[in-house]
Amino acid sequence: MDYFNYQTDGRLYGEGCDLSVLAEQYGTPLYVYSRATLERHWHAFDQAAGDVAHLICYAVKANSNLAVLGVLARLGSGFDIVSKGELCRVLAAGGDASKVVFSGVGKRVEEIEFALEKNIFCFNVESVAELVRINEVAGRLGKIAPISIRVNPDIDAGTHPYISTGLKENKFGIPIEQAQDIYAQAAAMENLAIHGLDCHIGSQLTEVAPFLEAVDKLLVLIDALASDGIHIKHLDVGGGLGVRYDNETPPEPKEYVQQIKAKLQGRNLTLVFEPGRAIAANAGVLLTRVEHIKPGDAKSFAIVDAAMNDLIRPALYSAWQAIIPVDNTLERAKAVYDVVGPICETGDFIGKDRELAITEGDLLAVRSAGAYGFVMASNYNSRPRSAEVMVDKEQAILVREREVLSDLWRGEHLLPQA
C-alpha cells in the first residue's frame, strides 16, 4: 500500500489530499510525494534489521528534495551520498554527517576535504588512486579518514544493463580478487582507518539471491582479511532492492533484510543498507495534463504536458511506469495511446500502447515516480522544471517551487556589444 489510492468519490488521492485539487493549485507537471509512504518504507528496513547493529543510509540520488531528506533525517536515517552537493543537501535538511557514507568513483579533492571536515561515517572507496588521494587529503588536514573498499563481486544482478553495477565490465568498485591486496595497501597508509567493506551490485533487483551471493563472497573476504590482521567493523551491502512498477514481484524489505541478517549470525558486524528506490519510488507520482489527443492510423497519441525532461526513465531505460486517470468517474471512450511529451525527440514518451479513457484537459498520474524522477529532470527544450509537493495527511506543502522562465538563463551572459 502506498497511500495513493482512489477514494469513494472516484478520485485519486495522495494520503488525504485530492490530487486534482493539487494540480489546480500548483499546476502541472507536478511531482507529489507522500510523507507517510516514505516513513513506512524506511521503517520497514529499520524494523527488519531490529536489534542487529545497523545503519539505513538512504541513497540521496533517488530523490534529494530537502523535504524528503528532512522527513528521513527526523527518523534518524543515515544517508548515502555521491557528491558534496548531496552532502550539503543532507546537512541543510538536518541530517547527521556522522551517519553519512560517501560513494562514487570520482570524488574530487574539495569534496573529500569537505566530507572529512564534517566527520562523515565512512568513505566507500572505489580505486587505489582514490585511496591515495584520500590518504593525502586526510594527512594534510590532520585527520584520519574512515574507509571501506567497494568491491565488485562480479555478480549478474539480472537488471537492465544501464543500471547493473556489480559485473566485471562495470566501472564500479575493485575486482574482488584484488581486494585483499588493496586492503593491505590501505592498511599501510598512515591517514586511513579501515572500517568496512562495501558493495552495490545494481538497481531494481527483484530477487534476493544475487544479494545473498554477494554477501557470501564478501564474508569469505572478511575472513581472509581477518587472517591478515585487518578487522572489518561494518558490512555495507549497498542499495538496489527493486520495487513493483508493473507485475514485478520483488521481495519485501523485511524479507530482504532478514535474509541478509541471517548470513551474519555470530559475527560482530554492523550492517549498512543504502536503499534509494525502495524508499522513494512508490512514495511519489507525477501529475500531468492531456494537452491534445492526436488520433492516427498506425498510432494514436496522447500528448501530455510532462515530457522526458521531467521523467526520463521511460526514454532512457524503456522503463514502464503505470499511467492512470486522476478522476475515475469521467465517461470517456477508451483507446490505445502512446503517451508522449511536447519535446522534439522521438524518444520522448512516458508510456507506450496504453489503454486509456481520456480526452483533452484530463489529468493523469504517472505512478512510482518518487525515485529517479525529478532528480533526473533537465531543462531540455527550455522547459522549466516542475514543482514538487509533499502530502502529509490532509495537508499539502509546496516543497519546491516550479521554475520560472528567468531561471532558465540564470548565469548566462550575452557577449559584449562590438
Ligand X SMILES: N[C@@H](CCCC[NH3+])C(=O)O
Near ligand X in 153-172, by CB under 6 A? 163
Q: For residue 157, how many other CB atoms are within 10 A of its CB?
A: 25
Q: Which of 149, 278, 315, 377 binds ligand PLP (CB under 6 A)?
A: 278
Task: Give the CB-nearest residue to ligand X.
Answer: 372
What's the closest the beta carbon of residue 231 comes to ligand X, in angstroms? 29
| Residue that has been written with the C-alpha cell 584484488 in this structure | 178
x/- map, 341-380, ligand X, by CB under 6 A: -------------------------------x--------
Q: Is 126 in the site for ligand PLP (CB under 6 A)?
A: no
What's the closest the beta carbon of residue 34 comes to ligand X, in angstroms? 19
Residues in CB range of 357: below 8 A, 6 or more apart: 325, 330, 331, 332, 333, 334, 335
Cα separation of 91 and 95, whole Å? 5
Residue 277 labelled as part of a binding site? yes
Beta strands in 119-172 (DSSP E): 122-125, 145-152
Nearest to 92 by CA among 400, 390, 392, 397: 400
Residue 240 labelled as part of a binding site? yes
Nearest to 211 by CA among 203, 174, 358: 203
Cα separation of 339 and 302, whole Å? 5
Q: Is 240 in the site for ligand PLP (CB under 6 A)?
A: yes
Q: Is 103 in the site for ligand PLP (CB under 6 A)?
A: yes
260 makes contact, choosing from ligand X, ligand PLP, none, with CB < 5 to 8 Å by partner type, with: none
Q: Is 373 in the site for ligand PLP (CB under 6 A)?
A: no
CB 80 within 8 A of CB 292: no
Q: Which of 35, 54, 313, 354 binds ligand X (CB under 6 A)?
A: 313
386 makes contact, choosing from ligand X, ligand PLP, none, with CB < 5 to 8 Å by partner type, with: none
> Which residue number, 137 or 306, has a Cβ lying nearer to ligand X?
306
Query: Which phi and psi (to 5°) does residue 87 adopt?
Result: -65, -40
Q: 81, exposed or middle or buried, with CB in 10 Å at 0-12, 13-18, 19+?
A: buried
| Residue that has been written with the C-alpha cell 566507500 in this structure | 124
DSSP 26-67: H-SSEEEEEHHHHHHHHHHHHHHHTTS-EEEEEEGGG---HH
The one-letter code for the residue type at 367 is: R
The one-letter code for the residue type at 122 is: C
Q: Which of 153, 275, 284, 370 binds ligand PLP (CB under 6 A)?
A: 275
What's the closest the beta carbon of residue 278 comes to ligand X, in angstroms? 12
Q: For residue 37, how many other CB atoms are within 10 A of its CB?
A: 23
Q: Is 153 in the site for ligand PLP (CB under 6 A)?
A: no
Residue 276 labelled as part of a binding site? yes
Catalytic residue at 88?
no
80 makes contact, choosing from ligand PLP, ligand X, none, with CB < 5 to 8 Å by partner type, with: ligand PLP
x/- map, 27-66, ligand X, by CB under 6 A: ----------------------------------x-----
> Which residue number, 137 or 174, has a Cβ lying nearer to ligand X?
174
Cα separation of 338 and 99, whole Å? 44
- For the annotated catalytic residues, the residue numbers are 344
Contact residues for ligand X, defined by CB under 6 A: 61, 163, 203-204, 313, 372
Name the binding residues for pyridoxal 5'-phosphate. Answer: 240, 274-277, 372
